[in-house]
């Protein structure tokens, strides 16, 4: 398939928990623009996969994106009937079960059952490759390994598409591979088409957070205006054979695409812009041009590519103890001094949980450091409506729970007028990044046989 | 001799935070090319390190994309361990872009007028 | 007629007085301009996008000037009739012309004798530009310009495209695309944009180019499929349709331009005043929205000299193509 027309690809989800109603306008617009579009879903943050593994331990049929059916139900029929192919990492820790859920959904909707391909190779526990990674992280308070996944690239996705997959279900992949895979298939790219691979990678990067490029996470209610965020349009990218990427969105949706929203997303999670490392290529975006082609249409051009690395990045998640949090509100006159008094009491009651982080939400919270330096330098004030939050970590759940108990005890033992206590004790998962030689990992795809 | 006036950075530029482990990246993007040279001169690695001193970063690096009037700061070890280790409500550090944008920069009076708040 | 005589005489007095150094910048009569109805003469029939543009300006200008501004349609000969009429009117600011790329720049290549020349006018302001869209009959299966290129290369001379007339911008735009890609297309001229659009919808032709005001609604209704935009930027209602510029096809005609002109010799203060009204219109959010609704876009050149500059530019760029195409109207 050596197409001269652009690759058309839309993203309907930027993370697990994103809106589930973004796909319909995208599918409608893709159909209007021509044949052979792609729809991708990115739903795997670092922690999500580890949590999915835990879910799968409890229920072997679980471990994939819980909102998968909600995301696909509105558009599966239309995609299958119009040839728009779907790719997603919503397989998480159980791509096979996710694939089966897609087939079941198709049957439920009375649609021709799509050809579903499952990508595998990322799960190093499953392939028994943990011993091949560069370092497994184990510090003294680290618990068992919950998940170990390599960030594989686009090769398997491209292969599955070439063999006629309608839906490609992945576990852990490098997010931009959701676009690089279709690009390889659409343009017939080889490993040496470095500049096009870089353009496809950065197109994926622009798309992979959904509305973050179309005006989401941009407005400030003062000068940065974005219309109709309640119905923000999600992005559609055109990748042209000359490496230009054009970002637009369905007409009649909210949002805003201009050089400012695009540059914010372009640099998001990028370190050295001359070397954005992915399993498929090392992309150089340091010299790109950004041009507004019209209202809500922006072109980015000038991506360059370098040879991909010899290793794949690996994410190892371990169970690591417990995070304890407790909050209580104070309001009206003397609210701040009452909150500070409560913090003092808790410090004295919880010596075993030091360092105890203290936030005065409404005065000093998210900017502060865990060592409470920021708070210490703040002169006490007269805040009249604030929420005291304390947080601590402990290897053992029973110790962590002490924090919750002590915060609750403030109802009778603490300062006057405190209310609205909430506490939480949650399993901590640590993530550790390391590497594995590329040749150790077999990136495979296989088709799900539809049961008769 | 042009008089210099302090203008908060968020009136003159915008940006977004990303995180990877214990490392934060914050973009600073000029609203208009006319302020780019002031940004280059004043929003430096040292200035940003000072602004984030309370978080004790190990290193601050600045990358420039002059054709976009944008810069990208990479701040190492600034997230108290990052999403899985920090005790912060915002362990990703997503709110930190506005901490950086809270810095002041000095602009010539004529230029500053265009960016100062009316009320 | 008495009125003309009075005005002519007043002008003569002003000229004489100015020569005597007795008259300040805003001379007699100008300080109160306008003191009666101003007429904007339109070179096309009522009802189209250009007409809507002229009426929007007239309406806005009336309010700004505090005096009525009316529109008079004098269509014919690609805008020549209106131009030759206004050229003969007094240069007092009370008769204005909507100048267009056609009547200013191109008609001289299309007509043996025009009855006016571009230098018979003083420019006031560029009003707007609009885009044109290349669309296809849905039965062709064409969804992108690449589909057209492939099909045209496979079957040279078989794909037909309509236009609003030989030498018209809707003809030139497609010609430039065909030359860029080395395509042999079959040109079918119609007498105007409306019959050309009817032709493509009915399947008489496979392709046509038309102004956005008509092409966009037809595309939205599914009557035609949009393929390419001729204009400075993508059209918000068709965000997925690229511009010819984007695809590296330079020197397409686009949608031409519309401007305001007055008979040569009109006092500078009047030209400046009317230019200011035009800039104010584009700065007014309500007007801007109305203009966007008829797919009009502002041009970057805002001075009074812009009309002359664009006239020269267009004549230089597309005059030769018109001559090559052997365009000659009656």
Q: Quickly state the pLDDT bin for A2 (edges 50, 70, 90).
A: low
Ranking A335-339, C18-22, C31-35 by mean pLDDT, the lowest is C18-22
Which residues on A lie below 8 Å from C235 (Cβ)?
A: 294
Q: For residue A388, what are its two tokens?
A: 């005291």
Whether B27 has a pLDDT exceeding 60, the answer reads yes
Q: Which among A5, A244, A250 has CB closest to C146?
A: A5
**B63–A286: do the CB atoms touch at under 8 Å?**
yes
- Do the two chains A and C touch, given a threshold of 8 Å on CB pairs and at least 3 pairs? yes
Ranking A90-104, A124-138, C57-71 by mean pLDDT, the lowest is A124-138
Whether a cis peptide bond, with omega within 30° of 0, leads into C34 is yes
Q: Which long-range contacts (CB under 8 A, 24 or more apart) does A348-356 make?
A: A349/A406, A349/A409, A350/A392, A350/A402, A350/A403, A350/A406, A352/A394, A352/A399, A352/A402, A353/A324, A353/A392, A353/A394, A353/A399, A353/A400, A353/A402, A353/A403, A354/A392, A355/A392, A356/A390, A356/A391, A356/A392, A356/A403
Mean pLDDT of C131-157: 95
Q: What ipTM did this prediction achieve?
A: 0.95
Q: Which among A34, A249, A293 has CB closest to C243?
A: A293
Which residues on A lie below 8 Å from B83 (Cβ)?
A: 46-47, 431
Hey, is C140 helix, strand or coil?
A: helix
Instruction: Note the pLDDT of residue C4.
Output: 40
Average pLDDT, chain A: 94
DSSP string across A327-351: EEEEESTTHHHHHHHHHHHHHHH-G
Instruction: Note the pLDDT of residue C3.
Output: 36
Whether C2 has a pLDDT exceeding 60, the answer reads no
Torsion angle (degrees, nearest 10) of CA C70, C75, C78, C80 = -70
Min Cα distance B3 → chain A (Å) is 26
Q: Tell me if B49 sits within 8 A of B74, measured CB to CB.
A: no
**B83–A287: do the CB atoms touch at under 8 Å?**
no
Instruction: Note the pLDDT of residue C5.
Output: 38
Instruction: Give chain C's end-to-end CA distance (angstroms, integer).
Output: 33
Please state, for a pLDDT cut of 90, what percent of chain A lies above it.
87
Q: How far apart are CA C253 and CA C178, in angstroms?
A: 13
**A297–C144: do the CB atoms touch at under 8 Å?**
no
Whether A271 has a pLDDT exceeding 90, the answer reads yes
* H or E segment to which residue A82 belongs: helix A76-82
Instruction: Note the pLDDT of residue C265.
Output: 96
**A271–B54: do the CB atoms touch at under 8 Å?**
no
Min Cα distance B4 → chain A (Å) is 23
Residue matched to tokens 């239309």: A78
**A393–B70: do the CB atoms touch at under 8 Å?**
no
**A294–C143: do the CB atoms touch at under 8 Å?**
no
Whether A450 has a pLDDT exceeding 80, the answer reads no
- Neighbours of B (≥3 Cβ pairs closer than 8 A)? A
Hey, is A237 helix, strand or coil?
A: strand
Q: Quickly state the pLDDT bin for C31 (edges 50, 70, 90).
A: low
**C233–A295: do the CB atoms touch at under 8 Å?**
yes
Per-residue pLDDT tens digits for C166-191: 878 899 999 999 999 999 999 999 98
Q: Quickly state the pLDDT bin for C145 (edges 50, 70, 90).
A: very high
Mean pLDDT of A164-192: 97
A258 touches chain C (CB under 8 A): no
Total residue count of chain A as it appears in this document: 452
Per-residue pLDDT tens digits for C62-109: 999 999 999 999 988 878 999 999 999 999 999 999 999 989 998 888
Instruction: Note the pLDDT of residue C112.
Output: 79
**B87–A357: do the CB atoms touch at under 8 Å?**
yes
Q: Quickly state the pLDDT bin for A3 (edges 50, 70, 90).
A: low
Q: Quickly state the pLDDT bin for C232 (edges 50, 70, 90).
A: confident
Instruction: Note the pLDDT of residue C106.
Output: 87
A9 touches chain C (CB under 8 A): no
**Residue (of B118, B108, B28, B24) closest to B72 by Cα position:** B28
Mean pLDDT of B23-41: 97
Instruction: Note the pLDDT of residue C12.
Output: 47
Q: Tell me if C305 sits within 8 A of C123, measured CB to CB.
A: yes
**C242–A246: do the CB atoms touch at under 8 Å?**
yes
Q: Where are the alpha helices (DSSP H) in chain C?
A: 2-19, 49-65, 80-87, 107-110, 145-154, 169-181, 193-202, 212-220, 268-283, 285-293, 306-324
Whether A273 has a pLDDT exceeding 90, the answer reads yes
Q: How far apart are CA B73 and CA A76, in angstroms?
A: 41
Per-residue pLDDT tens digits for A38-86: 999 999 988 888 889 889 989 999 999 999 999 999 999 999 999 999 9
Per-residue pLDDT tens digits for C185-221: 999 999 888 899 999 999 999 999 999 989 999 999 9
Instruction: Note the pLDDT of residue C48.
Output: 77
Chain C interface residues facing chain A, Cβ-Cβ under 8 Å?
Answer: 143-144, 146-147, 233-243, 246
Whether C244 has a pLDDT exceeding 80, the answer reads yes
Per-residue pLDDT tens digits for A199-210: 999 999 999 999
Per-residue pLDDT tens digits for A366-393: 999 999 999 999 999 999 999 999 999 9
Rounded to two decimals, the pTM is 0.85
Whether a cis peptide bond, with omega within 30° of 0, leads into A336 is no
Average pLDDT, chain C: 88
Q: Tell me if C28 sits within 8 A of C14, measured CB to CB.
A: yes
Cα radius of gyration rounded to whole Å, chain A = 24
Per-residue pLDDT tens digits for A102-116: 999 999 999 999 999
- Neighbours of C (≥3 Cβ pairs closer than 8 A)? A
Whether C329 has a pLDDT exceeding 90, the answer reads no
Q: How far apart are CA A56 and CA A98, in angstroms?
A: 12
Whether A119 has a pLDDT exceeding 50, the answer reads yes
Instruction: Note the pLDDT of residue C306.
Output: 96
Per-residue pLDDT tens digits for A403-445: 999 999 999 999 999 999 999 999 888 888 899 999 999 999 9
Handedness of CA C247, C248, C253, C259 (dihedral sign): positive
The C-alpha angle with vertex C42 and arms to C37 and C47, in degrees rounded to 5, equals 110
Which residues on C lie below 8 Å from A248 (Cβ)?
A: 234, 239-240
Q: In this structure, what are the phi and psi dihedrals at residue A422, rounded to the nearest 5 degrees?
A: -130, 140
Please state, for a pLDDT cut of 70, what percent of chain A lies above it.
97
| CA A333 and chain centroid, separation | 42
Instruction: Note the pLDDT of residue C7.
Output: 41
Mean pLDDT of B56-70: 97
Which residues on B lie below 8 Å from A320 (Cβ)?
A: 84
Which residues on A lie below 8 Å from B117 (Cβ)?
A: none
Cα radius of gyration rounded to whole Å, chain B = 15
Q: Which residue has the higher pLDDT, C157 or A143?
A: C157
Q: Quickly state the pLDDT bin for A140 (edges 50, 70, 90).
A: low
Cβ-Cβ contacts under 8 Å for A314 (sequence gap 6 or more): A124, A133, A134, A148, A149, A150, A151, A433, A434, A435, A436
Q: What is the DSSP letter of B68?
A: G
* C contact test, residue of A186, A237, A293 with most C CBs within 10 A: A293
Residues forming a β-bridge with A318 = A145, A430
Instruction: Note the pLDDT of residue A139.
Output: 64
């Amino acid at each position: 398939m050596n197409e001269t027309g652009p690759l058309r690809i839309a993203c309907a989800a930027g993370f697990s928990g994103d809106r589930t109603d973004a796909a319909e306008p995208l599918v409608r617009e893709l159909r209007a623009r021509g044949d052979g579009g792609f729809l991708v879903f990115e739903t795997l943050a670092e922690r999500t996969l580890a949590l999915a593994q835990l879910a799968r331990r409890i229920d072997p049929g679980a471990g994939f994106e819980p909102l998968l059916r909600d995301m696909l139900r509105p558009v599966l029929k239309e995609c299958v009937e119009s040839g728009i192919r779907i790719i997603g990492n919503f397989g998480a820790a159980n791509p096979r079960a996710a694939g089966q859920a897609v087939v079941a959904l198709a049957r439920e909707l009375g649609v021709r059952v799509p050809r579903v391909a499952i990508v595998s190779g990322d799960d190093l526990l499953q392939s028994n490759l943990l011993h091949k990674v560069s370092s497994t992280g184990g510090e003294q308070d680290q618990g068992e390994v919950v998940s170990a996944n390599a960030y594989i690239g686009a090769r398997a996705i491209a292969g599955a598409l070439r063999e006629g997959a309608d839906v490609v279900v992945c576990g852990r992949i490098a997010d931009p591979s959701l676009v690089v895979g279709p690009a390889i298939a659409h343009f017939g790219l080889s490993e040496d088409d470095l500049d096009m691979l870089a353009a496809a990678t950065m197109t994926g990067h622009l798309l992979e957070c959904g509305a973050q490029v179309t005006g989401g996470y941009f407005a400030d209610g003062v000068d940065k205006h974005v219309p109709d965020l309640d119905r923000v349009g999600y992005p559609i990218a055109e990748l042209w054979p000359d490496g230009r990427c054009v970002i637009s969105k369905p007409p009649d949706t909210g949002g805003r695409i201009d050089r400012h929203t695009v540059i914010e997303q372009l640099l998001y999670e990028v370190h050295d812009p001359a070397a954005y490392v992915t399993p498929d290529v090392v992309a150089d975006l340091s010299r790109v041009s950004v041009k507004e082609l019209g209202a809500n249409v922006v072109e980015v051009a000038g991506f360059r590519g370098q040879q991909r690395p010899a290793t794949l990045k690996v994410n190892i998640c371990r169970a690591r103890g417990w995070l304890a949090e407790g909050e209580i509100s104070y309001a009206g006159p003397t609210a701040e001094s009452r909150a500070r008094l409560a913090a003092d009491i808790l410090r004295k009651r919880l010596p075993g949980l030091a360092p105890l982080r203290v936030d005065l939400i409404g005065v000093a919270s998210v900017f502060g450091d865990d060592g409470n330096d920021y708070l210490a330098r703040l002169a006490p004030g007269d805040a009249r409506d604030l929420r005291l939050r304390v947080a601590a970590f402990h290897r053992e759940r029973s110790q962590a729970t002490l924090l919750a108990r002590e915060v609750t005890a403030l109802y009778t033992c603490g300062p006057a007028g405190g209310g609205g206590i909430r506490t939480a004790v949650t399993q901590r998962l640590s993530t550790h990044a390391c590497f594995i030689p590329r040749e150790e990992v077999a990136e495979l795809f296989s088709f799900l046989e539809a049961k008769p | 001799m042009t008089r210099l006036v302090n203008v908060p950075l968020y009136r003159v530029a915008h940006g977004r935070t990303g995180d990877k482990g214990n490392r934060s990246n914050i973009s600073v993007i000029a609203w208009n090319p006319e302020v780019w040279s002031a940004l280059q001169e004043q929003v430096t690695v040292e200035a940003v390190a000072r602004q984030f001193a309370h978080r004790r970063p190990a290193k601050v690096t600045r990358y420039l994309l002059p054709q976009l009037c944008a810069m990208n700061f990479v701040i190492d070890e600034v997230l108290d361990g990052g999403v899985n280790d920090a005790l912060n409500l915002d362990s990703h550090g997503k709110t930190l872009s506005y901490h950086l944008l809270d810095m002041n920069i000095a602009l010539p009076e004529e230029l500053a007028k265009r960016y100062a708040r009316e009320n | 007629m008495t009125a003309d005589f009075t005005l002519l005489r007043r002008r003569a007095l002003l000229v004489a007085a100015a020569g005597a150094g007795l008259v300040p910048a805003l001379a007699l009569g100008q300080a109160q301009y306008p003191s009666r109805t101003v007429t904007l003469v339109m070179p096309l029939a009522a009802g189209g996008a250009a007409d809507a543009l002229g009426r929007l300006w007239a309406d806005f200008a009336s309010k700004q000037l505090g005096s009525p501004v009316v529109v008079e349609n004098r269509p014919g000969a690609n805008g020549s009739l209106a131009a030759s009429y206004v050229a003969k009117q007094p240069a007092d600011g009370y008769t204005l012309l909507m100048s267009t790329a056609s009547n200013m720049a191109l008609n001289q290549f299309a007509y043996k004798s025009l009855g006016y020349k571009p230098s018979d006018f003083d420019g006031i302001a560029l009003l707007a530009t609009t885009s044109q869209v290349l669309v296809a009959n849905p039965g062709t299966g064409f969804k992108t310009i690449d589909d057209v290129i492939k099909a045209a290369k496979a079957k040279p001379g078989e794909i037909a495209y309509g236009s609003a007339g030989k030498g018209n911008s809707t003809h030139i735009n497609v010609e430039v695309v065909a030359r860029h890609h080395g395509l042999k297309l079959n040109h079918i001229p119609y007498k105007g944009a409306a019959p050309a659009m009817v032709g493509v919808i009915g399947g008489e032709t496979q392709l046509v180019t038309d102004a956005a005001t008509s092409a966009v609604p037809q595309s939205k209704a599914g009557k035609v499929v949009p393929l390419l935009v001729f204009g400075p930027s993508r059209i918000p209602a068709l965000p997925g349709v690229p511009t010819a510029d984007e695809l590296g096809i330079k020197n397409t005609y686009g949608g031409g331009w519309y401007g305001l002109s007055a008979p040569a010799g009109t006092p500078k203060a009047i030209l400046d005043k009317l230019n200011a009204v035009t800039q104010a219109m584009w700065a007014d959010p309500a007007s801007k929205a109305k203009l966007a609704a008829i797919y009009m876009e502002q041009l970057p050149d805002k001075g009074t000299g812009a009309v002359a500059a664009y006239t020269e530019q267009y004549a230089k760029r597309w005059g030769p193509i018109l001559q090559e195409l052997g365009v000659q109207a009656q």
